[in-house]
Amino acid sequence: MTLAFRPLSIPSDLAVKNLVTLRIFNYLIILVAGVVLIPFYASAQISLEWPYHDPNVSSYLTPDECIAASARLRFSSDVYLVARDTLPAKGAIVSSLPESAVKAARECSARFDPHTISLDDYLPAIRMFLMADRDEDAFIVERRRLSESGAESDTESDNAERNNTDRGIFLAAIAQTYMDAIPVRFEAAHRLVAELRRPETNARWQDRFAQIWMLMHRYRVSDRMEDARIPAQWLVALPDEVTSEERTSREFQSRANVLLAIHRFLARDQLLDSLSESTESYLALQQSLARKVSHVDQITGTEAIPVEGDFWFPQEPSSLPPFRGAVNLLIIEGNTGWPQRSVGAMLRRLKSEFPNLEIVLAVGTKGFFGASEPPTPEEEAVYFDRLFRGFHSYPVTLSVTRTPFWRLPAPDKRRINIPTSNLTNYGGQMLLIDRDGLIVHHTSVGTGDEQWLTDLVRVLVRSAK
């Protein structure tokens, strides 16, 4: 079969006219189609716009869906999308929700009556009402939930006890919801936590501890330090409110550090005053606080064992640290690796404020350094000096100890380090030592309250003058 192609030719005048008419008609069709279709096209684009601002909440049937709608708006707001500052968002938890999020929660929650809403999902209901700024309605749901678990409605003692335990759980859960709300409902949370710690509530001590601690934490991060003292006092009273069996349990003892820190928080001024009087009186007060929480501290108050070193930078000291007659801060490397960079920043701040503070960093050789050829201990010590005092500008006297080691027999041949005396005595610890060589304070390297440490150093340095 032969295909017939029409040859291209120059059209006649008539044909040109027809073509022009046809073109104009085509343009008109395109124009009309454009006018009709472009809005659809544009609206399709708009419907995909993100973030969205005005959700249709009419189809949302549960508190959970309302919370989700409001939360989406919250995270679509500029507060979360635009980084306005590199500083931490201090006080963010007390800031309010964006207006769009509140509006969505309000519209969505309009269909729910706090007197009739199902109590099966009482926490989402309370959360939804809080998001919608309907705190009175959240309170109604809270009371309904608690009244249904109230001991007064039961006559049999076992039921009463069980209901009391349930009531404790409900109290803790609702208090947590108030504390997680934005902004934090401090009054409501405080009221519920106070109720939670009443003996007749019969709540588990773990729930009490968690909620009281959270309330204190929320007050602290909101800069309401005076308010924070109340839950702090509740916490330090907790050991007297639990049974002796509970008090001596491993679970309770694991919180002894926290309780001791809270004791210190409450007795901060008292402790600093005692330290300015003498290290002995400070240690006595410290020990009395530790006894209250059954905390065993075998380091504080003892005379510091000298830090050893095979290589010293910038030069070998005439005597081993801690240096008598000066306030010392010793940082001893642990098993987990080198001190964090944040420690260096803290050390620089301390040295800047207290030039006479003697800071000593003790590390051990490992037989390798970065990607270099396996260095000798001497080379490794120089690398440590370059790293800590050179690159990181740690204002320290650096001690590098030659770590003894042995190897697993062939074919394994792994290096097994033998702990140095520094590691055995104080591995991973940061120790504050007074001018007489007594350990005043110690924490794990990279942890602890820098402000507290600074306060202690300030008092020790002043009293040393």
Partner 1 sequence: MKRLGLDNDETRLLSRDRMTTIMEAVRSFSDGQGITACRLTAWWRGEVRWARNRISLASERRDYRLSLTRIINGGRGEISINQLDDQALQTAIRYAERDARLVSQRHQPPSMDVPVPELPHPSTLVWSDSTFNLGIEQRSAVGRSLTKASEERSMFSSGYLECRGSEVMSWAWGQDVTDVNPDDIPMVTTPEYSRHTQAQCSMTVRHPKGSGSGWAGVSAFNWSSIDSQLLADVALQKCLDSVNPVAIEPGRFTVILEPQAVAALVGAFMGAFARSEVENGGSIFTLGRDEALKIWRSRLGMKVVDERITIAHDPMDPALGVLPSPGLAPLTFVEKGVLVNLEYNRTYALSALNYNLPLSARPGYKMSGGNTTVNEMISSTTRGILVTRFSGIDILDTSSILMTGITRDGLWLVENGAVTKSIKNMRFTDSPVFVLNQIEQIGAPVPVFEPLPFGLNPVFVPPIKSNDFSFSSTFDSI
Residues that bind partner 1 (CB under 8 A): 366-374, 383, 386-387, 390-391, 410-416
**Which residues are CB-neighbours of 37 under 8 A, at least 6 positions away?**
none
Residue 365 Cβ vs partner 1, minimum distance, rounded to whole Å: 10
Specify the residue, 146 or 387, whose C-beta has the smaller distance to partner 1.
387
Contact 255, 237 (CB under 8 A): no
Specify the residue, 107 or 385, whose C-beta has the smaller distance to partner 1.
385
Contact 232, 262 (CB under 8 A): yes
Residue 427 Cβ vs partner 1, minimum distance, rounded to whole Å: 14
Contact 350, 454 (CB under 8 A): yes
Residue 237 Cβ vs partner 1, minimum distance, rounded to whole Å: 40
Specify the residue, 44 or 416, whose C-beta has the smaller distance to partner 1.
416
Residue 200 Cβ vs partner 1, minimum distance, rounded to whole Å: 47
Q: Which residue has the tokens 């938890």?
A: 93
Residue 351 Cβ vs partner 1, minimum distance, rounded to whole Å: 20
Cis peptide bond upstream of 51, omega within 30 = yes
Phi-psi category of 409—alpha, beta or left, where left has phi over 0 and alpha has psi -120 to 50? beta
Specify the residue, 123 or 387, whose C-beta has the smaller distance to partner 1.
387
Strand partners of residue 442? 431
Residue 442 Cβ vs partner 1, minimum distance, rounded to whole Å: 24
Specify the residue, 215 or 343, whose C-beta has the smaller distance to partner 1.
343
Specify the residue, 10 or 371, whose C-beta has the smaller distance to partner 1.
371
Question: How many residues does the structure list for the chain?
Answer: 465
Task: State how far the Cα of 451 lies from the Cα of 322, in Å rounded to an integer.
Answer: 22
Residue type, 402: R
Task: State how far the Cα of 176 lies from the Cα of 193, in Å rounded to an integer.
Answer: 9
Specify the residue, 152 or 373, whose C-beta has the smaller distance to partner 1.
373
Specify the residue, 355 or 370, whose C-beta has the smaller distance to partner 1.
370
Contact 220, 228 (CB under 8 A): yes
Q: What are phi and psi of 435, to 5 degrees?
A: -70, -15
Q: What is the token pair recorded at 171? A: 């109290």
Q: For residue 183, how many other CB atoms are within 10 A of its CB?
A: 14
Residue 404 Cβ vs partner 1, minimum distance, rounded to whole Å: 13
Residue 312 Cβ vs partner 1, minimum distance, rounded to whole Å: 19
